[in-house]
Amino acid sequence: MTLDLQQRRSERPAAAGRPRRAGRAVPPWWFTAPALLLFAFVVLIPSARGVYYAFTDWDGLDPNFAFIGLDNFIAMADDPDALQAIWHTLLVAIAITVIQNGVGLLLALGVNTTIKSRNVLRVLLFAPAMIAQIVTAYLWRNLLGPDGAVNSLLAGIGLESWQQNWLGDPDLALWMIVLVVVWQYAGYSMVIFIAGLQSIPQEIYEAAAIDGTGPVRRFWSVTRPLLAPALTINLMLSIIGGLKLFDQVYGMTGGGPGHATDTISTLIYKDAFTLGEFGYSIALAVVLTAIVTVVSAAQYTGLSRNEKAAT
């Protein structure tokens, strides 16, 4: 019976000369409806409203607010805190991306060998990525404090002169945040690099060895190009994560001392929830969106070209 219905439903005159394939039923569009509804309610509609609010003086509560054109953005150009936060965001994102992936790659090359501890190391080095970022931030806030473990360790190895107020020094604090992100996610990068390394056929290395290439040359000419897909994923994840950085800053320094470690995300939070400047805060979020979009697009075109060139 069902079979009858099915056939009747699909009985259209077949195009001349093209045999109709049975069973080529495309699933209907309404399968996407539940996902679309949730996504629209949570992301799409609020984001669109956000872009509109960025051009208003909305305070988050008052239903009456005025359209003020580009005033929020003009104010931003004169706001040293905002400009500093944008600069910090870019600096931190780039620093995290370079250092985290550099360390991650070195770890991957070290772990992906015949050493006996490789499995234990892989599990241990990846573990920090499982922990909540805010928890890591509080842990390191203590470790880097004046009487914290880092200074105690320096004293223990006779380097008292190296002791610093790591998070209280405006020139150092931002780099400490980078250090903590790298500590937490280097193992994450490592795991993705290991997956990339393991997908490289051994025969290629054997052939290269027979040809008498040294280890450096082998890395440069064989490993590097074949790691391109893993590198793409890693760069994407770390730079976008770095641009949105919030938890570490909130937990370690609260954006201080002064505004020395504020990022766009922490400033958005402060301006909206402590100053009530929702419109201005959303304008900052629009700037962040623009930065993320430009960076993603640039990465996508640059890296896909790189991957094509490599293969």
Q: What part of residues 218-247 is at the interface with another protein (CB under 8 A)? A: 229-230, 233, 237, 243-244, 246-247
259 in Cβ contact with 174 (< 8 Å): no
Residues between 259 and 288 with contacts to another protein, criterion CB under 8 A: 264-265, 268-269, 272-273, 278, 281-282, 285-286, 288
Q: In angstroms, what is the minimal distance from the CB of 48 to another protein?
A: 9
Q: In angstroms, what is the minimal distance from the CB of 289 to another protein?
A: 5
Q: Given candidates 167, 181, 187, 249, which one binds another protein under the rule CB under 8 A? A: 187
267 in Cβ contact with 85 (< 8 Å): yes
Instruction: Dig out the tokens for 155 from the structure.
Output: 């004293």
Number of residues that bind another protein (CB under 8 A): 103
The interface region with another protein, picked from 11-19, 29-37, 80-88, 92-100 by CB under 8 A, is: 29-37
166 contributes a contact to another protein by CB under 8 A: no
Q: In angstroms, what is the minimal distance from the CB of 165 to another protein?
A: 16
Cis previous bond, 201, omega within 30? no
End-to-end alpha carbon distance in the chain:
53
Q: Where are the alpha helices (DSSP H) in the chain?
A: 2-9, 33-39, 45-53, 71-77, 80-111, 118-126, 133-143, 149-156, 170-198, 202-210, 215-218, 224-226, 228-243, 247-252, 264-273, 278-310
* Residue 54-73 contact track with another protein, rule CB under 8 A, x = bound: ------x-------------
Query: Would you say 172 or 240 has its CB closer to another protein?
Result: 240
133 contributes a contact to another protein by CB under 8 A: yes
Q: In angstroms, what is the minimal distance from the CB of 135 to another protein?
A: 5
The closest of 99, 101, 129, 95 to 233, measured between CA atoms, is: 101
Q: Given candidates 82, 85, 93, 125, which one binds another protein under the rule CB under 8 A? A: 125
Q: Given candidates 69, 102, 146, 156, which one binds another protein under the rule CB under 8 A? A: 156
Instruction: Give the torsion through C-alpha atoms of 201, 203, 204, 205, to 10 deg.
Output: 100
